[in-house]
Amino acid sequence: MDARLFGIIKTKSPLSHISEAISTNSYLAQDPILQDDGTIEEVFCYSGNALRGQMRDCCSRFMLKYMVRKLGLDSFHLMFSGGKIGGDQVVDIQAAKILRQNIPVIGILGGGIGNQIIAGKIKFQCIYPICKEAIPVLPRELYEKAMLRTYVNMTYEKSFTRMDDAKSDLNSDYITEKHEKPNEPGEKKKNVSDQMRMTSELVVAGVELYSVIDLVGVTEIEIGALLSGFYDFVVAPYIGGQSNKGHGYVDLNYAFISNSKLDANFISIRDGKLNLSNEALGYVSKYTAILDRSKTEFITDESIIDKSKIEKVMSNFWGA
Amino acid sequence: MEDLQITAKINSFITSDPWSPSIDSIIAYWHLFEKMGAEEFHLSASTQTGLKLIDDLPLDKFEWKNDIWWWKCSSPVYDIRHMSLKYIHRRFDQHDAESYMKPKKGNISTTAGPYKNFRGGFNQIVADHISWFAIGDKDEITRLLNRCTNIGAKSAAGFGQVKEWVVTENPESAELCMKRPVPLEFADQNSLAYSSVLEWAFRPPFRMPENRTICAMP
């Protein structure tokens, strides 16, 4: 089936997602957006690739925690980073099919296996703030809300300091060697800096970002695999960088539409609590049923004629 | 078959050349997707051996000689309003490796080799729409394109999102759809103007050797 998840990610703390750093200053990633009058406005853009990478990690962690298993290097790289291309010039459609059936996360997000790229079925669209300048890339339903907000007020710069504790007099009793070379007699005292100051451009807390995730030709089990990632995401519901400073804490709410049927509260995270609609829970239980089954047996269909191959492929995957 | 103008309303997209994305390959993608089914299509799409000649698209064919023919559709037409460099990153998840990877002897190099971290730059073109001219079945083309959410490179990462597909009739399409890569010999025989000569595919799938020849590029 084809489906779309769409909704709002609301920042509950400042959000960092940098494009470039100049000296100790870092700047937000922005996309040029063509306005109706032909001018270009630069607006913050949270990359679809960033959300994709985070959801790939979350889905993989959920699966491995659920199955209480660990992976070898190649399989780990496939699950968490999308795998690699190379090795023997062999195309093995059956091996790819076995992996997709047994590991639905690979089915939906794809990856590089051996000399093949298995295409994913999901597109994480770029995420933009709901504001006047982003209207050309927002859906019509949000125009009215966007007209009331301007991007100009949505970002600010915040500075942080980092002390060199080795140079603090308070800590001198706890360090065995001094980093600084003592001054030579008669030498002028050096002016040594004992702290640095960094400045980050951030999106302010309270901004609503519009996000779309398109699913093409997915199965119900694969939707469940995607949703399972939110169980891991909610453990630390942060997006972007500098979460160690508390940046990027979010609430979110996604609606789901498939075959013209809308589920407005398909998935939501509010104050660190996850809520799934009955339909969403149904997909997740179909997925966990597959994970339960694959603890004791390999999943297969009639198209895989060589049954011994299934064991070989899955043993390679799990590194058994 | 009708004379058509196909328009994708977008904000931006990524492409490496002015002849892409081509509308015959976009239509071919969704045509094959439906014909093969999602599973088989995804499994075979990336393999060279899985490539087959596609001769049943809802587009009119231009027959030249022997087995050389192509679909009656133009290269993309758009105004570049702005360009910006966008980066895509991929990294080895060291933190997760400590928890979810079996212990391994030795180091894992992330600066070279198969697990190398990646920072790739792509030119993002800002344009409010891309148009193509074609002769084909309006209803079937519209139906297929409505499944297509993104065009151009790096679509899985959200680039090239299509806001809307608009397919309208345009009587000038018959002439304009010749503005596309065609075999050089054909271009010279018919005194067609071209800007460069490249080895190129004149019909999809573009990686299929039989579909490639020296082409005159508009």
Give me the DSSP letters along chain B.
-EEEEEEEE-SEEE-SSTT-S-HHHHHHHHHHHHHH-HHHHHHHTT-STT-------SB-EEEEETTEEEESBPPPB----EEEEEEEEE---HHHHHHHB---SS---SSSSTT--EEEEEEEEE-SEEEEEEEE-HHHHHHHHTT--B-STTGGGTTTB-SEEEEEE-TTHHHHTT-S-EEHHHHHHTT---SEEEEEESSSSTT-GGGEEEEEE-
In chain A, which among 143-202 make CB contacts under 8 A with chain B?
none
A320 has pLDDT over 70: no
Quote the mean pLDDT of chain A.
88
What pLDDT digit, counting tens, does each position of B10-47 carry?
999 999 899 999 999 999 999 999 998 887 787 776 66
B84 touches chain A (CB under 8 A): yes
B47 touches chain A (CB under 8 A): yes
Q: Do the Cβ atoms of A137 and B101 come within 8 Å?
A: no
Of A32, A80, A319, the CB nearest to B126: A32
Give the distance from residue B56's alpha carbon to the nearest chain A alpha carbon, in angstroms. 22
Q: What residue of A is the nearest CA neighbor of B129?
A: A34
Give the distance from residue B118's alpha carbon to the nearest chain A alpha carbon, in angstroms. 11
At A282, is the pLDDT very low, low, confident or very high (cuts 50, 70, 90)?
very high
Domain boundaries, chain A: 3-58+122-151+202-287
The reported pLDDT for the residue numbered B36 is 87
A86 has pLDDT over 90: no
The reported pLDDT for the residue numbered A89 is 52
What pLDDT digit, counting tens, does each position of B96-110 carry?
888 888 888 888 888
Q: Identify which has the larger pLDDT, A238 or A115.
A: A238
Q: Which of A81, A302, A316 to mutate to test the interface with B (most CBs of B within 10 A)?
A: A81
B46 touches chain A (CB under 8 A): yes
Average pLDDT value for residue range A111-116? 77
Taking one residue from A and the other from B, the number of pairs with CB-CB distance under 8 angstroms is 149
Q: Do the Cβ atoms of B90 and A82 come within 8 Å?
A: yes
Q: How far apart are CA A257 and CA A214, in angstroms?
A: 10
The reported pLDDT for the residue numbered B52 is 80
What pLDDT digit, counting tens, does each position of A209-231 carry?
999 999 998 999 999 999 999 99
Percent of chain A with pLDDT over 90: 56
A194 has pLDDT over 90: no
B119 touches chain A (CB under 8 A): no
Residues of A in contact with B32 (CB under 8 A): none
Give the range among A182-186, A203-207, B178-182, B192-196 with minimum mean pLDDT: A182-186
Give the distance from residue A34's alpha carbon to the nearest chain B alpha carbon, in angstroms. 7
Q: What residue of B is the nearest CA neighbor of A68?
A: B100
Number of Cβ within a 10 Å radius of residue B64: 16
Of B48, B82, B99, the CB nearest to A32: B82
A181 has pLDDT over 70: no
Of A70-84, B85-99, B164-178, which has the strongest mean pLDDT? B164-178
A100 has pLDDT over 60: yes
Burial-class residue B119 by CB neighbours within 10 Å (0-12, 13-18, 19+).
exposed
Give the distance from residue B190's alpha carbon to the nearest chain A alpha carbon, in angstroms. 38
A300 touches chain B (CB under 8 A): no
Residues of B in contact with A97 (CB under 8 A): 39, 43
Helices (H), chain A: 48-67, 73-81, 93-102, 104-109, 143-147, 220-233, 278-296, 307-318
Token readout for A4 is 């779309």
Q: What ipTM did this prediction achieve?
A: 0.81
At A179, is the pLDDT very low, low, confident or very high (cuts 50, 70, 90)?
low
Complete domains list, chain B, with CATH: 2-81+127-177 (3.30.70), 85-120 (no CATH)
In chain A, which among 93-152 make CB contacts under 8 A with chain B?
93, 96-97, 100, 110, 116-127, 136-137
The reported pLDDT for the residue numbered B202 is 93
Quote the mean pLDDT of chain B.
90
Residues of B in contact with A72 (CB under 8 A): 101-102, 104
Q: Which of B9, B96, B110, B130 to mutate to test the interface with A (most CBs of A within 10 A)?
A: B96
Average pLDDT value for residue range B148-161? 91
Residues of A in contact with B45 (CB under 8 A): 119
A29 has pLDDT over 80: yes
Q: Identify which has the larger pLDDT, A108 or B40.
A: A108
The reported pLDDT for the residue numbered A188 is 67
What pLDDT digit, counting tens, does each position of A123-170 carry?
999 999 999 999 999 999 999 999 999 999 999 999 999 888 887 778
Give the distance from residue A304's alpha carbon to the nearest chain B alpha carbon, in angstroms. 13
At A193, is the pLDDT very low, low, confident or very high (cuts 50, 70, 90)?
confident
Q: Do the Cβ atoms of A116 and B47 come within 8 Å?
A: yes
Average pLDDT value for residue range B41-70? 82
